[in-house]
Structure 1
Amino acid sequence: MLDVRRLYMLKTVAARGSITAAARSLALTAGAVSQQLAALRNDVGADLLRPDGRTVALTEAGRVLLEHADRILAAMEEAESAVAAVTGAVGATATLAALPSTVTRIVAPALTALGSCHPQLAVTCLIADQAQLSELALGTVDVVLGQRYHHLPDATPRGINVSPLLDDPLLVVTAADQGDDRPVMLQDLAAHDLAVPPATTDCGQAILQGCQRAGFTPTPRYVTADIAAQLALARAGLATALVPRTAIDPTTLGIRATSIADHPIQRLLFAATRHTEHANPTTTAVIAALHTAAQEGQTACLPPVQE
């Protein structure tokens, strides 16, 4: 009989691209993973992996086995969710992946509320610049607080459920003594010194394409994904930043935040989980807390914006 743990190791190696990377994410040694995969190879009687430059790739037998492994692992999670749904009990652990721009206004209030309502639930929170939907599909996280910009393609993987939280526009941020509160024409920013995220990030790509729709390709003066750094540069009068509204602390002094009048750039913030027929009470509780925090954060003391 096939060992489910070995099947998951095969899935992890396929996703990570190497045994070393898979071992790191599984908190095991590369030797231990290699040993388990060798045992899996003996179980099925066929090679499952082949060298591919500095990485490894699945053989045809490996691809076939992985297709079945995905269904087996999904069925196991479905069984766990079905039992949990019967009891209705919120579990003891969950892992949430979230964007740095959502921590102050959504994640922190949500985790505080969860601690009050479900004190037995310990939530591990992973903060990363990119939404971790691939990690969700792999099973290393339970809930992702992610984003999708409205004018960019939807890249949500199969088997992922998305629950919208709120629409979050990018605002034009300058020093408080620069300009006024009237909405800004995006094309006018072509003459500004801009502080923007790298074009390799979701936000950076959204800004790049938004500016191109407005008729120009931005030449950033400062490139950083650190929103605190972007706001510091704007506050000092050194740059104009384009920052999601939710990412701006309403108590921040020395900045002016205004909307974009002609080509708005807006992201959808969402909570994502793996699809199961039976709702898992634990992930349901996490998503409910995120939704409440998002709605309350949207209405509480927002930066002044003239629409």
Structure 2
Amino acid sequence: MLDIRRLHMLRTVAARGSITAAAQSLGLSAGAVSQQLSALRQDVGVDLLRPDGRTVALTEEGRVLLEHADRILAAMEEAESAIAAVRGTVGANATLAALPSTVARIVAPALTALDAHHPQLTMTCLVTDRAQLRELTLGTVDVVLGQRYHHLPEATPRGVEVSPLLDDPLLVVTAADRAVGRPVALRELATHTLAAPPATTECGQAILHACHQAGFAPTTRYVTADIAAQLTLARAGLATALVPRTAIDPTAPGIRTSPLEGDPILRLLFAATRRTETANPTTAAVVAALRTAARQHSTTQLPMT
């Protein structure tokens, strides 16, 4: 009989590209993973992996087994969710992956509420610049607080359930003494020096695409994904920034925010979980807390110019 843990290791190696990387993510030694994969090879009687440069790749037999492994692991997840639903209680542990820009206004209030209502639940929070949807599918995180910009293509992995939380507009941020006192047309920023994220990030791509749609290439002299750095540069009068509303402290001194006139640049904040027929009470509680925090944030108005 196939060992479910070995199937999980095979899937992790396929996703990570190497036994070493898979071992690091699983908290095991590379030797331990290699040993278990060798045992899996003996179970099925064929090679499952082959060298591919500095990485490894699945053989044809490995790809076939992985397809079945995905279904088996999904069925295991379904069984665990069904049992948890019958029990009807929130579990003891869960891991949330979230974007830095959501921590202050959504994540922290949500975790505070979870601690108050479900004190038995220990939350681990992974704060990272990129939504960890792949980690969600691999089972290393349970809930992802991610983003998708409305005018960019959607790419949701198979087996992932997305719950919309909040439409979060990008606001124009300038030094308080340079505010224009009205909504700003995006094309007006053609004459501004911008502090913006790298074009390789989702936010950077969204800003670049919107500017091109407005008929200009932005002058980006300061390139950083660190929103605190963008706001500091704006406060100093060195640059104009386009920052998600959720990431701005309404009480921050020295800056003013203005909405974009006409079509805004919007990101959808969402909570993602692994899709199951039966809702898991633990992940459902986390998503509900995130939704409540997002709703409360949406009613807090920033001081506009």
TM bracket (short chain): over 0.9
| In structure 2, C-alpha distance between the alignment counterparts of 1:251 and 1:67, rounded to whole Å | 51
Q: How many residues align?
A: 305
Structure 2 matches for 1:81-160, cutoff 5 A?
A: 81-160=81-160
**For residue 286 of structure 1, what is the aligned residue in structure 2?**
286
Matched, 1:222 2:226: no
Confirm or deny: 8 A CA contact 1:181 1:256 kept in the other structure. no
Compute the displacement of 1:297 (Å): 1.1
Compute the displacement of 1:159 (Å): 1.0
**Deviation string for 1:261-307 (max 9, x for gaps)?**
1342100001010000000000000000000000111112x32236x
Structure 2 matches for 1:268-307, cutoff 5 A?
A: 268-300=268-300, 302-305=301-304
Q: Structure 2: 5+ residue runs without aligned partners?
A: none
My pick for the range that moved more, 175-184 or 222-231, is 175-184
Structure 2 matches for 1:169-180, cutoff 5 A?
A: 169-180=169-180
For 2:255, the aligned partner's letter is I
Compute the displacement of 1:219 (Å): 3.0
Compute the displacement of 1:41 (Å): 0.6
Compute the displacement of 1:228 (Å): 0.3
| In structure 2, C-alpha distance between the alignment counterparts of 1:208 and 1:56, rounded to whole Å | 36
Regions of 4+ moved over 3 Å: none
| In structure 1, C-alpha distance between the alignment counterparts of 2:134 and 2:187, rounded to whole Å | 35
Confirm or deny: 8 A CA contact 2:192 2:219 kept in the other structure. no
Confirm or deny: 8 A CA contact 1:210 1:263 kept in the other structure. no
| In structure 2, C-alpha distance between the alignment counterparts of 1:243 and 1:179, rounded to whole Å | 15
| In structure 1, C-alpha distance between the alignment counterparts of 2:66 and 2:34, rounded to whole Å | 17
| In structure 2, C-alpha distance between the alignment counterparts of 1:305 and 1:165, rounded to whole Å | 23
Identity of aligned residues (%): 77
**Deviation string for 1:184-221 (max 9, x for gaps)?**
11111111110000111111111110111111122310
**Deviation string for 1:199-254 (max 9, x for gaps)?**
11111111110111111122310010100000000000001000000000111110
Matched, 1:212 2:212: yes
Structural RMSD (CA): 0.9
Matched, 1:57 2:57: yes
Confirm or deny: 8 A CA contact 1:84 1:281 kept in the other structure. yes
Q: TM-score normalized by structure 2?
A: 0.99
**For residue 231 of structure 1, what is the aligned residue in structure 2?**
231
| In structure 2, C-alpha distance between the alignment counterparts of 1:291 and 1:148, rounded to whole Å | 16
Secondary structure of the structure 2 residue equivalent to 1:221:
strand
| In structure 1, C-alpha distance between the alignment counterparts of 2:228 and 2:182, rounded to whole Å | 24
| In structure 2, C-alpha distance between the alignment counterparts of 1:152 and 1:17, rounded to whole Å | 28
| In structure 2, C-alpha distance between the alignment counterparts of 1:262 and 1:119, rounded to whole Å | 45
Compute the displacement of 1:32 (Å): 0.9
**For residue 18 of structure 2, what is the aligned residue in structure 1?**
18
For 1:137, the aligned partner's letter is T
Q: Structure 1: 5+ residue runs without aligned partners?
A: none
| In structure 2, C-alpha distance between the alignment counterparts of 1:163 and 1:181, rounded to whole Å | 36
Confirm or deny: 8 A CA contact 1:181 1:257 kept in the other structure. no
Confirm or deny: 8 A CA contact 1:213 1:263 kept in the other structure. no
| In structure 2, C-alpha distance between the alignment counterparts of 1:100 and 1:296, rounded to whole Å | 19
Secondary structure of the structure 1 residue equivalent to 2:178:
coil
**Deviation string for 1:30-74 (max 9, x for gaps)?**
111111111111110110011111111100000000000000000
For 2:230, the aligned partner's letter is Q
Secondary structure of the structure 2 residue equivalent to 1:20:
helix
Secondary structure of the structure 2 residue equivalent to 1:220:
strand
**Deviation string for 1:156-201 (max 9, x for gaps)?**
1111111110100000000000032211111111111100001111
| In structure 2, C-alpha distance between the alignment counterparts of 1:146 and 1:181, rounded to whole Å | 32
My pick for the range that moved more, 234-243 or 214-223, is 214-223
For 2:198, the aligned partner's letter is P
| In structure 2, C-alpha distance between the alignment counterparts of 1:219 and 1:68, rounded to whole Å | 50
